[in-house]
Structure 1
Amino acid sequence: MRFILFLLAGFLSFPLMSTAQHTVTIWIDQLPEHHPSGSILYAAGNFSGWNPVDSTYKFKKNRKGEHYLTLNLAPGKYEYKITRGGWDKSECAAEGKPVPNRTLDITGDTAMHIEIAEWADRFPSTPVKSTASSNVKIIDEHFLIPQLKRTRRIWLYLPPGYEENTKTNYPVLYLQDGQNIFDASTAYSGEWGIDEYLDTAKQKCIVVAIDHGVEKRLNEYNPYPNKKFGKGEGDKYVDFLVKTLKPYIDKNYRTLPDASHTWVGGSSMGGLIAMYAMLKYPAVYGGGIVFSPAFWMTNERLFSDIKKKGSKVNSRIFFYGGKKESEHMVTDMLRAFEE
């Protein structure tokens, strides 16, 4: 496998990872004064793909009515928030302002005691203005994914001059988690700003962004079964990208359809499925961007596929991980790079 560029912030040193799992119990000592009775509470963090309503991370109650959640986590640093089943119902400060992510630095078994000041849905929300550039549009709010028998919103970025330069064809970049790519009003915690960058960049390309499936995100972006999260649907999702979406884009827009001009990318779970797409379809993708990939979700099977199929991949792959990532993410990314 040929990697042209590898960038890792904070790469100077990192500890060897232990595979041991530690028991972490989170106790909620105090809830808001006007907490809705009967509400179900969840922990959403980078250990769960930031799913705000994942039943695996649902709090339980003991006989005293105390809320607690027991996690089994590998050593490392984690971030999370408490929700009542949606990001519109996440915890916030007493006056309604957002609060930073909570953090866990796991080195052994531990118990955490937290207090929740308020819930975001008790305060009037301030509409977030759209930040998408004029070159971004929605192809379809309900684009059919026949392989999975469900639909998805598809975004499209066309470079400046596309309408005027009718004899010019463009490379295409396919990105996951479309909600976060172009528009702050749909993004979880800020958009990527790709449209603003490409509006003024010398090199031009088309960008296709596919919304994630919310509660289906962890399944669609994982090609392998996972004991906690269930059946992996990534194999069919990648088939959708290659056999359904790409032919549609190539037919309806002026693309350069060969592999050298077709890239795939994503972050976290999106980075995982982008890596898998290149492994499964090495003749389709000539490059990829893999940011903070959740390789730990694959239970070693991705690395087995890299060993078996990596020699057929002739892609330029840009890996990136921030220095504040958990140690297992960094170690897994380095391992994929080296293998």
Structure 2
Amino acid sequence: MPTMRSALAALAVFGALLPAGCAPSPPTAPAGGAAPGPRAAAPSGANAVTVTLRVAVPASTPPSDVVHVAGDFQGWNPGSAAHALVRQPDGRWQIALPFEPGQAIQFKFTRGAWAKVEKGPIGEEIANRALVVPAGGGAFDFTVATWADLGTVVGTVEVFTHAPFLGGRTVRVYLPPGYAAGAARYPVLYMHDGQNLFDIRTSFAGEWRVDETCEQLIAAGEIAPLIVVGVDNGGASRVAEYTPWPADGYGGGGGDAYLDALRLVLKPEIDRRYRTLTGPNHTWMAGSSLGGLISVYAGYRHPETWGRVAALSPSYWWDDRHVIAWAAAAGRQFLARFYHDMGTAEGGSPDLNGNGVNDDVDDLRAMRDVALAQGFTPDGDLRHVEAAGGQHHESAWAARLPGALRFLVGTSTTAGVP
């Protein structure tokens, strides 16, 4: 591996990057308690037209809260009584305001404070909404994806700690629809960076929407119901836990101890607490970046435990691409399904060997070739995805997760490869 393949290599070691498009929008809330910004000129009255703003809000919106609109036309006041919307019989909120034809306005919806401003689908910052007022005014519809102060958990996600497991590390468990009412047992997918999987409030830079995605795919019959176990990363210990070997300049190398904790301490506790299918046919692992690296390593190192793995943007570059040569020497072992992917625009698309291909994609192809030589078949038990324009962050992984789950999980929970 080159000493520094890209800025991504260093940043990915310490956690997910800020999702593209998630840079803060133009300032809305007055900074540091300063006076509100300049207010756009009020309509003269004679030429004013009426603009009606209608907005649908998430089901999680507290029924006692009131939706407001804050914008450059009223000094960006998030709780102005004059700009409170009225709830309609269909559940949407509405306000009619006068503007000059051709007036350009910017605005956002709040629940009365900047701490309760609207956010994007995975909790990310969004740009100010913008509208140029038509000559005749009109009605305009909007949808709030999430609120800054509300969690984004969908379905059932239980959170617990187990003292013997990594000093009481937080574990987050998604249970499929119908779990509480039935007696069925389910396959289990273990995932890393648990903080980023289910809830924007606990995430570093956006969430994977694992709960939403599972609920949708299960309801559509596109995947079988499953349990997802999200294991929080250890912060400062993340690099050590997610790497099988140390790398010059980065440290690491505690992956075996981490996997031992998962398989010997956490897995028995999960199997005790929940109705699980316990064998390797039904025990799987997935992660991204270094979490993808340790997932692939786990599938080769402990085939008696993990029978399917998914690695999104795996850090195959770690320790001079050690895992690629190691997997070739280890042999296929049991692995029944192997998914991996890489965005073509990760890390600024470094191409140090000058072959016209992102170096990270080169590594992905090298691991694919190892798997093919071991008897994996393309789109049979191996799925290799090069995501055009894909980047290295939670929103990119959230977008690729449905495809990964469709392949990894499938629609059957019977033993072996469906």
Q: Give 1:183's aligned residue.
A: 199
Residue 176 of structure 2 corresponds to residue 159 of structure 1: yes
Under a length normalisation based on structure 1, what TM-score does the superposition of the two structures give?
Answer: 0.63
2:212 to 196, 204, 208: 196
Q: Give 1:317's aligned residue.
A: 338
Cα contact 1:289–1:319 (8 A) shared by 2: yes
Cα contact 2:193–2:230 (8 A) shared by 1: yes
CA deviation map 1:3-58 (0-9, x unaligned) = xxxxxxxxxxxxxxxx655799xxxxxxxxxxxxxxxxxxx855332638xxxxxx
Matched pairs, number: 237
Cα contact 1:282–1:314 (8 A) shared by 2: yes
What residue ranges of structure 2 are gaps of 5+ in the alignment? 30-113, 117-147, 350-357, 371-418
RMSD, aligned α-carbons: 2.8
SS in 2 for 1:321: strand
Letter in 2 for 1:312: Q
The verdict on how the C-alpha distance between 1:45 and 1:23 changes in structure 2, with shifts beyond 3 A counting, is: closer
Q: Give 2:154's aligned residue.
A: 133
Cα contact 1:224–1:234 (8 A) shared by 2: yes
The verdict on how the C-alpha distance between 1:22 and 1:176 changes in structure 2, with shifts beyond 3 A counting, is: closer
Letter in 2 for 1:163: A
Q: Give 2:388's aligned residue.
A: none
Residue 355 of structure 2 corresponds to residue 334 of structure 1: no
Tell me whether 302-311 or 257-266 shows the greater mean CA deviation: 302-311
CA deviation map 1:63-112 (0-9, x unaligned) = xxxxxxxxxxxxxxxx789xxxxxxxxx9688489xxxxxxxxxxxxxxx
Alpha-carbon distance in structure 2 between the residues aligned to 1:285 and 1:156? 18
The verdict on how the C-alpha distance between 1:20 and 1:243 changes in structure 2, with shifts beyond 3 A counting, is: closer
Q: Which has the higher contact order (CA 8 A, sep 6+)?
A: 1
Identity %: 33
What is the deviation of 1:337?
Answer: 1.3
Cα contact 1:222–1:298 (8 A) shared by 2: no
Alpha-carbon distance in structure 1 between the residues aligned to 2:320 and 2:268? 32
Letter in 2 for 1:183: D
Cα contact 1:143–1:154 (8 A) shared by 2: no
Q: Give 1:145's aligned residue.
A: 165
Letter in 2 for 1:223: P
Q: Which has the larger radius of gyration?
A: 2
The verdict on how the C-alpha distance between 1:318 and 1:231 changes in structure 2, with shifts beyond 3 A counting, is: closer
Letter in 1 for 2:197: I
Cα contact 2:283–2:308 (8 A) shared by 1: yes
Alpha-carbon distance in structure 2 between the residues aligned to 1:306 and 1:23? 22
Cα contact 1:143–1:153 (8 A) shared by 2: no
2:298 to 277, 284, 292: 277
Cα contact 2:239–2:252 (8 A) shared by 1: no
Cα contact 2:155–2:177 (8 A) shared by 1: no
Cα contact 1:172–1:206 (8 A) shared by 2: yes
Letter in 1 for 2:10: F
Q: Give 1:172's aligned residue.
A: 188
The verdict on how the C-alpha distance between 1:336 and 1:221 changes in structure 2, with shifts beyond 3 A counting, is: same
Alpha-carbon distance in structure 2 between the residues aligned to 1:234 and 1:160? 33
What residue ranges of structure 1 are gaps of 5+ in the alignment? 1-18, 25-43, 53-78, 82-90, 98-123
2:227 to 184, 200, 206: 206
Under a length normalisation based on structure 2, what TM-score does the superposition of the two structures give?
Answer: 0.52
Q: Give 1:86's aligned residue.
A: none
Letter in 2 for 1:191: E
Cα contact 2:188–2:227 (8 A) shared by 1: yes
Cα contact 1:295–1:332 (8 A) shared by 2: yes
The verdict on how the C-alpha distance between 1:129 and 1:335 changes in structure 2, with shifts beyond 3 A counting, is: same
Q: Give 1:217's aligned residue.
A: 238
Letter in 2 for 1:47: A
Alpha-carbon distance in structure 1 between the residues aligned to 2:153 and 2:159? 11
Alpha-carbon distance in structure 1 between the residues aligned to 2:3 and 2:240? 23
Q: Give 1:304's aligned residue.
A: 325
